[in-house]
Amino acid sequence: MMTALVIGFEEDKNVLEKENYIQGQQYTAAREILPRSDNGEPLVYVNSVPSIDQSTMYDGYRWGKFEYAIGSTNRLSNDFPLLRYADVLFMKAEALMRSGQPGAGALVTQIRERDFKDNPAKATVTDEDLEGGSAYDYGRRDSYETTYEGGADIQYGRFLDELGWEFCQEGRRRQDLIRFGVFTTKSWFSHDASSSHKILYPIPNQALLTNSNLTQTPGY
């Protein structure tokens, strides 16, 4: 298993993988099979990662939601979305859901319709659906430990799933997990459930040394 964002309802999983991940056999710009650098065999990205520190060059699909220019290095200059219209709709939907008002399902359905044009029925979610548990089975999934914690106990878990699918690779998963009470209470991949103090980051030591009025965040 690669990530919490890829596992869910089968139709959502297929759309997410196709549109957001670089996977399978890799090719050069000339459409020639790209070889691995270690043994010359074809480079094929597979949908599994043994652990954070035991992965090889072919383990795991790669992030692919945003275009990589030919010849680019790890110092990218891509534009990055900080706020999309879908985000505004999700914020309104979450506010309606948490305040007990109707309409969240219709807003999320509106967003999902973009990806299910050939089968609009697959796009439909209801208010009741969003208030249910998560489809993802949380738990450790690496070569060191395997646990199964489920996700049915997460309040508004399906809404959290929808956020993960829609905003995959957009740098907001941590705050979403915190807001839904999952970040320190569940495990995933190589991450263990942890103390609630980790919801806040520590203050860097350099900042503490230069400002005596600062006090380190409790727990660090």
What pLDDT score does 11 carry? Answer: 63
- DSSP letter assigned to residue 143: S
**pLDDT reading at 2 higher than 50:** no
**pLDDT reading at 8 higher than 70:** no
**pLDDT reading at 3 higher than 70:** no
**pLDDT tens, residue by residue, 173-201:** 999 999 999 999 999 999 999 999 999 99
Is the sign of the CA dihedral 6, 191, 138, 164 positive or negative?
negative
**Looking at the DSSP assignment, which residues form a beta bridge with residue 46?**
59
Q: Where are the domains of the chain?
A: 10-63, 85-194
Helix H or strand E segment including 131: helix 127-131
- The greatest distance separating any two alpha carbons of the chain, rounded to the nearest whole angstrom, comes to 61
Instruction: Name residue, tokens 């459930």.
Output: 193
* Greater model confidence, 15 or 39: 39
Q: Which amino acid is at 49?
A: V
| Predicted confidence band of residue 1 (pLDDT cuts 50, 70, 90) | very low
Q: What share of the chain in percent tops pLDDT 70?
A: 94
Instruction: Identify the CA nearest to 160 among candidates 149, 172, 148, 169.
Output: 172
Please classify residue 122 by burial: count the beta carbons closer than 10 Å to its beta carbon, then call 0-12 exposed, 13-18 middle and 19+ buried.
middle
**Looking at the DSSP assignment, which residues form a beta bridge with residue 62?**
22
Is the sign of the CA dihedral 139, 6, 165, 124 positive or negative?
negative
Please classify residue 17 by burial: count the beta carbons closer than 10 Å to its beta carbon, then call 0-12 exposed, 13-18 middle and 19+ buried.
middle
